[in-house]
Amino acid sequence: MAKGVEATGARAHPARSPLRERAFLRLWSAATAAGPATWALPLVLGLAVLEGTLSPAALGLTVIAPAIGAFGAGPVLGGCALVPTARHFSRRPPPTH
């Protein structure tokens, strides 16, 4: 049999590197940039407090704001994901053995 041809006669596609995909590169670069940004944000905000342009209370609110969104949306979105799943499984007939 010829190279790259399966038993069905269809050609096998060679593995393509994810580094050639634009979508992968965008995701990878965003994830790579998010790491240092997450690390640097409290440092930069702390320097703003030391300089006097940001109050300690505003610093606390700024640092906790992303977590508040996650704590609020997590239970709501988790429940939204469970409801269709529960409906799907409750309509199935019991298995017969």
**pTM for this model (two decimals):** 0.43
The CA R_g of the chain, rounded to the nearest whole Å, is: 25
Q: How do residues 22-43 score in pLDDT, each as one tens digit?
A: 888 999 999 999 888 888 888 8
Tokens at 35, concatenated: 């790491």
How is the chain split into domains, by residue range? 19-90
pLDDT of 94 over the 80 cut: no
State which amino acid sits at residue 28. W
DSSP 52: T
Decide if 43 contacts 50 (C-beta within 8 A). no
Range scoring the smallest mean pLDDT among 50-54, 66-70, 91-95: 91-95
